[in-house]
Structure 1
Amino acid sequence: MRIVQNTFITIFLFSIFLSCSACSSESKETGWEWEEEEEVPAGFELKKGVNIASWISTPKFSGEERVAFFTNENVKQLKELGFDHIRLPIDETVLWTENGEKIRPYAFDLLHNAIGWCQSNGLKIIVDMHITRNHRFTNTENDLFTKPEEPAKFVRLWEDLSSELSKYSNDLLAYEILNEPVSENPENWNSVLNLVIPAIQAKEPERTLIVGVCTSNFAVMYNSLKLPATKNIMMTYHVYAPYLLTAYGQNDTTGGRTDIPISYPGQLVPDGYISQLPEKWQSTGKQVFNKEALRPFVKEGIDRAKQLSVPVFVGEFGTLYTVPEQSRANWYRDIVSLLGEYGIGYTSWDYKGAGYSIVDENNTVAYPEIVKILTGK
């Protein structure tokens, strides 16, 4: 999830809003508590983490400025704040040339540095294949799923990365195969998983592999996800609901306006301002959101992980800094509370560099209350 890369998320959450008839304080469904014997099996344990964006995925800087953007001191800070892992998005174009040659300076060297810093500071790390030349999560369809030669390229990319990183402990490092896979037909994603999971596991059978759910214009296709194996597999999904709130002030929510009042919990936008919202968001603006209204957005991914008998965590969630600060804190508090009820780990979006960040450009904590909520301190 990025400030300028969210068209897809906008669409599918909007569709969920239209289909959710229980977005009010009376929306709680009974029987949601998990029985002890139904708990998702333990795996690569993740509790409280944060994404490291804008560094070697859609980087804000190049050269020495990129080196200085994220360092061992930042990892130490995260450890001291109370986080136990990071999710590190990476882009193919940053790490590999078009000919498939590894780029070392300001690319693979930084990746190895980050893993080493996590190891020395007692944090786990997820290496997340965020954007590839044949897949971008903001597209409505991707070459990875439409061109017959592309899945094999994707497998080779992962085999190359696995060879590079296989020396690291399985307790330290996990691989996220692809961020927010997008295809109109979810079987396309399942077919790719049938190729890439066995290829990685042939080289690293004990490495934890993290799998997201295929998405399309108007759906998150939880029930369509199929796995060729479940050993050392973990499922992930993202939570940005209600999107009118979490992405408040963007062009695709309020037309870029930040003078329309918005708050959480309660009715998002006062009646007198509903007409000033873009038409597609007016019904959402009238809705009442609170912890119980958010529960379905948290629970759906957990339900699918239970069906697949794999552990699960939320790999991204967050709100833009343009959201009124107390409403931001209220939303984070409810999401973290819900995840705690289900015993689910999480990785917030993000550390710094984007509009969701918890620290400023000087690495000073910008939102202490939110950090306290995220870390439980």
Structure 2
Amino acid sequence: MKNKVFTFGIALILGAVLCGCSTKPEVLTMKRGVNFSHWFSQTRLPDYPPVPATAEDIQLIRSLGLDHVRLPVDPVRIWEFPDEGPLNPEALQEVDAAIELALNHDLSVVVDMHPRPDLKEQLESDPATFQSFLKLWQELATHLAQYDTDRVALEILNEPMVENPEKWQSMANELHGIIRKAAPKHTLIIGGAEWSDVATLRRLVPVGDPNVIYTFHFYEPHLFTHQGAPWGSPEWLVLTNVPYPLPPEAGTNMLAGVTNEIAREALLDHIAQQWDADKIDSRISGAAEWAATHGVTIWCGEFGAYRPYANPIDRARYVRDVRSTLERYGIGWTLWDYQGSFSLVEKEAPGAPAKVDWPMAEALGLSSIKSTPLETD
């Protein structure tokens, strides 16, 4: 593993020389952060009302030693599709208040465009919807350009669902161009096609702008991180007792109790992969090598594990292995999420005081600040 890190460092220098870039591009620095899900995104009123963060939440995040927050925003909250009317002033005011709340507590902010899957499908299939999305970003970036360039970054699209990497490359280039004109000095963030994992990051071609961060999300292996989740692949609902790591003998014992054929095939593949810290390193190192080759900055915008069904010890172990691997390669990270179903904290009700999951905090390297006035054991 040490050899890999050494090789990565050499590749970073060579990549910077080849592209004529500095090894320290003028981009927003983000080391450790957390996502605020279900505030301006992932809401289905009235069944899933927004869950705002409080000033106490922001204070707690800062006291934990985190330096940034990612703020996912569903574009339908602020824009009518496919019409090209003005931005919704009330919703925009709420987003501004959230940004300012974080900035006032010395946290940087990533404003992440985070549509629902149906809109992301339309962005690929319907040119009129994509043109409306471009217009939205032109208006929003013009508005957000008022914020400090060293404190606020703009993420063009969360987890694109475009299967064709060449098509997404063209869309990303166009989005980059229109946002850059409206916000000429802000750091922009771009991920790969088809859910923005490491593999799709490696197929992305950098846009030639030194003030861009390239992002990827890390949820491998999904059979562990999404076990029991009621969305996505059907085997996630069937397999709800998957440990991390999973020794081959334990995997064989698990198979004996699985009758669903799809779940059996998924579990067999999972066992064969032998997921552990070294396996995680082998994946993340691929992202680091891509970044070094191109002389660009990368950032892991999401990682974590679904809380309801994962064993808490295994969940913390997994988060520790991912976090420590990212940091070993000098990659900043943002946990998914603060108070949702992958959360760092628990609350008895929305707006109630947050109770930190301290094993998770320790897995994130945050345990040294346990004695905070905002938290009681």
Instruction: Give your verdict on TM over 0.5.
Output: yes
* In structure 2, C-alpha distance between the alignment counterparts of 1:324 and 1:374, rounded to whole Å: 17
Say whether 1:69 aligns with 2:59. no
Rounded Cα–Cα distance in structure 2 between residues aligned with 1:134 and 1:319:
24
What's the CA shift string for 1:276-331, capped at 9, x where partnerless?
34123121342432110111221222222223321011000001112101111111
CA distance in 2, matches of 1:101, 1:132: 21
Aligned to 2:67: 84
Query: Relative to structure 1, is the Cα distance of residues 76 and 150 closer, same or farther in structure 2, using a 3 angstrom cutoff?
Result: same
Q: For residues 227-282 of structure 1, what are the alpha-carbon distances to aligned partners after superposition, in whole Å with 9 as ceiling and x for unaligned?
A: 33222111000111111111122353655356645232644953122143412312
Who is 1:300 aligned against?
286
Identity %: 26
- CA 253–152 in structure 1, closer or farther in 2 if over 3 Å, else same: closer
User: Unaligned stretches of 5+ in structure 1?
Assistant: 1-27, 137-141
Cα displacement string for residues 62-121 of structure 1 (whole angstroms, at most 9, x for unaligned residues): 69x74x73122211111011111000100111122343332233x222211111111110
Q: More displaced, 195-204 or 93-102?
A: 93-102
| Aligned pair partner of 2:99 in 86, 92, 115 | 115
State the AA in 1 paired with 2:103: Q
- Alignment-mate amino acid for residue 34 of structure 2: V
Query: In 1, are the aligned partners of 2:345 and 2:356 still within 8 Å (CA)?
Result: yes
Counterparts of 1:204 and 1:255, CA distance in 2: 41
8 A contact 1:230–1:310 mirrored in 2: no
Instruction: Identify the residue that residue 25 of structure 1 maps to in structure 2.
Output: none
1:264 aligns with one of 232, 239, 245: 245
Q: Deviations over 1:161-197 (max 9, x none)?
A: 0122111000110000001112221111111122221
Matched residue type, 2:87: K
1:323 maps to 2:302: no
Unaligned 5+ residue runs, structure 2?
Answer: 14-22, 369-377
Q: Distance in 1 between matches of 2:71 and 2:315?
A: 24
SS at match of 1:183: coil
Is 1:290 paired with 2:244?
A: no
Q: Which amino acid aligns with 2:237?
A: G
CA distance in 2, matches of 1:86, 1:347: 7
8 Å Cα contact 1:230/1:309 also seen in 2: no
Q: Is the 8 A contact 1:274 1:285 kept in 2?
A: no
Backbone CA RMSD of aligned residues: 2.8
SS in 1 for 2:174: helix
8 A contact 1:41–1:309 mirrored in 2? no
Q: Decide which of 26, 38, 44 is 2:12's aligned counterpart.
A: 38
Contact 2:35 2:70 in 1 (8 A): yes
Deviates more, 1:160-169 or 1:227-236: 227-236
8 Å contact from structure 2 (residues 36, 338) kept in 1: yes
Size of the aligned set, in residue pairs, is 341
- Counterpart amino acid of 1:116? E
Question: Structure 1 residues 264 and 165, CA, compared in 2 at 3 Å: closer, same or farther?
Answer: same
Higher mean Cα deviation, 187-196 or 257-266? 257-266
Does structure 2 conserve the Cα–Cα contact (< 8 Å) formed by 1:261 and 1:269? no
Matched ranges for 1:7-46 at <5 A: 30-33=3-6, 34-35=8-9, 38=12, 41-42=24-25, 43-46=27-30
